[in-house]
Structure 1
Amino acid sequence: MVWQGKVHEFSSNLGLVKTIDISSNNLTGQIPNEITKLHELLRLDLSNNSLVGEIPRDIGQMAELLTLNLSRNMFSGEIPSSMSKMNRLNDLDVSYNKLSGRVPSSTQLQSFPPERFTGNVELCGLPTAKKCLEDEDQGVPPVGDSKGDAEGTGELQRWFYIGGATGFATGFWIVCGALLLNRRGRHAFFNFMIA
């Protein structure tokens, strides 16, 4: 690295780096695979550059990563399946690239808002709005779209109202019965209401 006119080489202490933010620098080329060896890295921001190629397959080895922003580049190919192992990731943005295929299944990746995946025309599967071809071939209905879901919701709502009405009627008659049978309680209640 050239810094203040001097060439500096980082090798042994590179593993201590916690944050790399080289966003908006007009960088070109591919992400070097060696970056995946930075196992202690917490934040990586390569957004708003002109990076190409695929996201490194072994990016999932960066298990400590909390923030990963690869948005607004020209990455292509699929999101590596190893990313489903990144359990600590709480901020991900891969929007506006040329990514394709299914978003790997994991509770972590599916928890991000769809906007973090927009601008990738060929990307499909949750949390994106686009269904994958395999899902359409198998006849997998989208969540909340099937007739059975609507019927189940109507049935649940009907029982909710029946239960609510029954509970109200029971409570009403318990209070009225207690007031009718308990003379002292009835007088105290009416004195309280008048006061």
Structure 2
Amino acid sequence: MIEWQGKVNEFSINLGLLKVIDLSSNNLTGHIPNEVTNLHGLLVLDLSDNFLDGEIPRDIGQMTQLLTLNLSRNMFSGEIPPTMSQMTLLNNLDMSFNDLSGRIPLGTQLQTFDASAYTGNAGLCGPPLPQKCSGDDDFGVPPVGETDGDGESTNELKKWFYIGGACGFATGFWMVCSALLLNRRGRHVFFSIS
């Protein structure tokens, strides 16, 4: 329900067509309404540089089409909702300069964003931030970019990736060649088409 110039209008069907909400730098106050999370087709949500407070809605992960989410420079508190791990298309995120706390949800692309997307939240911890969460030492979870060895883990991973790719290509190539060599009819069909 939106009241505009003394008239109250209800928008329900048309909201599904909404793709961008940019309410940045408007001195807005209060909480984000939970109903915003029902806008499943939304691509951009920018609420930055306001005075919004409270927690980020728990169901924000339902907004799976979201490409850009900017909640920076507000007064949000609490944890980053674990449902954000469902936002796999997200390629631009800024949650900096709030009062967020707790662990950044693991096992998602949330660790792929630069640490600057989370700066200004003294209570946040876990990758990609350098602050370890309590219990990280117990489970042996190294921060992003750190290893127990000599710092060669990224190079080691790349090396095994290329070795695996080369072995897979060679195996597939020789299987095709062997099939053509051993199967006379297949060989004739393959070379007559070419």
* TM-score normalized by the length of structure 1: 0.71
Judged with a 3 Å threshold, the aligned counterparts in structure 2 of structure 1 residues 145 and 24 are, in CA distance, closer, same or farther, namely same
The structure with the larger Rg is 1
How far, CA to CA, are the matches of 2:136 and 2:54 in structure 1? 27
Deviation at 1:71, TM superposition (A): 0.3
Question: Match for 1:70: what amino acid?
Answer: L
Cα root mean square deviation, aligned: 2.0
1:14-61 deviation digits (Å, cap 9, x = unpaired): 111100000111111100000000000000000000001100000000
Sequence identity (%)? 61
How far, CA to CA, are the matches of 1:94 and 1:151 in structure 2? 30
1:38-53 mapped onto 2 (5 Å cutoff): 38-53=39-54
1:128-160 deviation digits (Å, cap 9, x = unpaired): 1111011034454444353xx12868xx8xxxx
* TM-score normalized by the length of structure 2: 0.71
Assess if the C-alpha contact under 8 Å between 1:144 and 1:150 holds in 2. no
Judged with a 3 Å threshold, the aligned counterparts in structure 2 of structure 1 residues 108 and 145 are, in CA distance, closer, same or farther, namely closer
Match of 2:101 in 1: 100
1:82-121 mapped onto 2 (5 Å cutoff): 82-121=83-122
How far, CA to CA, are the matches of 1:2 and 1:44 in structure 2? 22
How far, CA to CA, are the matches of 2:124 and 2:152 in structure 1? 31
Unpaired segments ≥5 residues, structure 2: 157-194
Assess if the C-alpha contact under 8 Å between 1:20 and 1:43 holds in 2. yes
How far, CA to CA, are the matches of 1:84 and 1:104 in structure 2? 7
Match of 2:25 in 1: 24
Greater share of helix: 1
Unpaired segments ≥5 residues, structure 1: 157-195
